[in-house]
């Protein structure tokens, strides 16, 4: 049931805000650790977003759409990578170009979000992992983006839960640089208040690296804005994208503000610089999932790279894609045409028609053909 505006504002302790698709800014120093919300909301939000995942065939369709010519796969020369069972190895993949730029430095970054990390993370199980795979069979090496166990506060209380956080559920790389991003959208942050009352928040977290030896953590929702009515259930890292030059990181957080969703923009080269983010909207955008998917590209011919963000339950369930500048100011939007088609579930960008501009490819996997009398539903379309 939709909460009334009065009740929502009273619960949030915030004044009414009817601003829609505006951008807000904050300093990176403001993103301090939060002291978070209740346990029930964390369980429901964790399952809420992932229950709507559909088969990865759509991703293959989007990748193939980036080629305007037919081709044959070299079957005698294919490469196979296999890891431990039940780790969900291959849940996410991204091509990585090494710093040298030569073909021999290229590799494949593969996520295994249920990989058991208990051998190198004390007190943590199945935190998930990321692998760097080469161009020969079985040439996959574990990359330890995070080797530490759960951290504690000054009172000695555990303040986070890394077990089952799904590190590797999202991986992304820059096109022309060596930046790698790996995210754990089910990472839980919590703390004990002085009266020992536990609060849990599935805020999510991401890690970046260039040389796969030094790693930086970015967790934009680990703030004092606890609770699902604010940013406590944001699940940052559900989607992520890196700019072509590798100087900017975008993180999707579809669980912020009653699952309206939110997107962050970071300067990777200078983390101390201003952090940009989308603002909270009115209650009509609750459960819209802004940040469910994203991709970068130059979509308006201004020589600057933009960010396209999926909002598959937005616009009254028609689905919506928001295209913003790097500083999260809006350029234009696209809206789906059929209720429930999940328009914006998956996004890709490439120059399909060869005119020198990036084309935006949008997936709607739950689309059904009107007038279909054969009982075929959710056929999907791109």
217 or 4: whose pLDDT is higher?
217
- Which pLDDT band, with edges at 50, 70 and 90, does 198 fall under? low
Range of weakest confidence among 55-64, 95-104, 122-131, 141-150: 55-64
The candidate with the shortest Cα–Cα distance to 357, out of 287, 288, 305, is 305
**Dist. CA 294–CA 289, nearest whole Å:** 12
pLDDT digits (tens, 9 = 90+) for 271-328: 888 899 999 889 999 999 999 999 999 888 888 899 999 999 999 999 999 999 999 9
**Dist. CA 193–CA 23, nearest whole Å:** 33
Domain segments of the chain as ranges: 19-66+157-363
**Dist. CA 277–CA 327, nearest whole Å:** 8
218 or 62: whose pLDDT is higher?
218
What would the mean pLDDT of 139-156 be, rounded to a whole number?
A: 89
pLDDT averaged over every residue in the chain? 79
CATH number, domain 19-66+157-363: 2.130.10.130
Task: Report pLDDT for 193.
Answer: 54
pLDDT digits (tens, 9 = 90+) for 326-348: 999 999 999 999 999 999 999 99
With 70 as the cut, is the pLDDT of residue 246 above it?
A: yes
- Which pLDDT band, with edges at 50, 70 and 90, does 57 fall under? very low
**Dist. CA 169–CA 211, nearest whole Å:** 21
Phi/psi at 92 (5° precision): -140, 145
Range of weakest confidence among 20-24, 176-180, 363-367, 371-375: 20-24
360 or 14: whose pLDDT is higher?
360
With 70 as the cut, is the pLDDT of residue 35 above it?
A: no
- Which pLDDT band, with edges at 50, 70 and 90, does 42 fall under? very low
CA atoms lying within 13 Å on the CB side of residue 138: 0
What is the percentage of the chain residues whose pLDDT exceeds 90?
Answer: 49
What is the percentage of the chain residues whose pLDDT exceeds 70?
Answer: 77
Task: Report pLDDT for 377.
Answer: 79
- Contact call for residues 129 and 167 (beta carbons, < 8 A): yes
pTM (two decimals): 0.78
């Amino acid at each position: 049931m939709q909460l009334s505006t009065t009740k929502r504002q009273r619960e949030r302790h915030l004044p009414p805000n009817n601003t829609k698709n505006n951008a807000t800014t904050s300093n990176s120093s403001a993103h301090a650790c939060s002291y978070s919300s209740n346990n029930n909301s964390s369980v429901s939000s964790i399952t809420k977003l992932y229950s709507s995942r559909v088969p990865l065939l759509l991703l293959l369709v989007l990748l193939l759409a980036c080629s305007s010519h037919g081709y044959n796969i070299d079957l005698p020369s294919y490469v196979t990578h296999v890891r431990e069972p039940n780790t969900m190895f291959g849940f996410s993949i991204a091509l990585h170009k090494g710093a040298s730029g030569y073909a021999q430095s290229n590799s494949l970054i593969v996520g295994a979000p249920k990989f058991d990390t208990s051998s190198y993370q004390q007190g943590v199980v199945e935190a998930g992992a990321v692998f760097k795979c080469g161009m020969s069979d079985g040439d996959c090496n574990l990359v330890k983006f995070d080797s530490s166990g759960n951290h504690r506060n000054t009172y000695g209380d555990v303040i986070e839960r890394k077990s089952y956080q799904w590190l590797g559920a999202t991986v992304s790389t820059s096109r022309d640089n060596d930046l790698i991003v790996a995210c754990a959208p089910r990472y839980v942050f919590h703390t004990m208040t002085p009266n020992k009352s536990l609060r849990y928040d599935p805020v999510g977290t991401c890690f970046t690296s260039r040389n796969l030896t030094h790693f930086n953590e970015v967790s934009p929702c680990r703030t004092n804005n606890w609770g699902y009515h604010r940013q406590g259930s944001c699940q940052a890292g559900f989607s992520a994208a890196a700019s072509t030059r590798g100087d900017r990181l975008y993180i999707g957080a579809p669980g912020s503000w009653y699952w309206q969703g939110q997107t962050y923009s970071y300067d990777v080269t200078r983390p101390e610089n201003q952090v940009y983010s989308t603002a909270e909207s009115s209650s009509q955008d609750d459960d819209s999932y802004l940040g469910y998917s994203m991709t970068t590209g130059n979509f308006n011919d201004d020589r600057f790279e933009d960010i396209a963000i999926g909002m598959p339950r937005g616009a009254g369930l028609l689905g919506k894609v928001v295209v913003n500048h790097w500083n999260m100011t809006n350029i234009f939007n696209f809206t789906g045409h059929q209720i429930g088609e999940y328009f914006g579930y998956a996004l890709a960008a490439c120059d399909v028609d060869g005119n020198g501009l990036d084309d935006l490819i949008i997936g709607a996997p739950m689309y059904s053909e009107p007038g279909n009398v054969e009982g075929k539903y959710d056929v999907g379309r791109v």
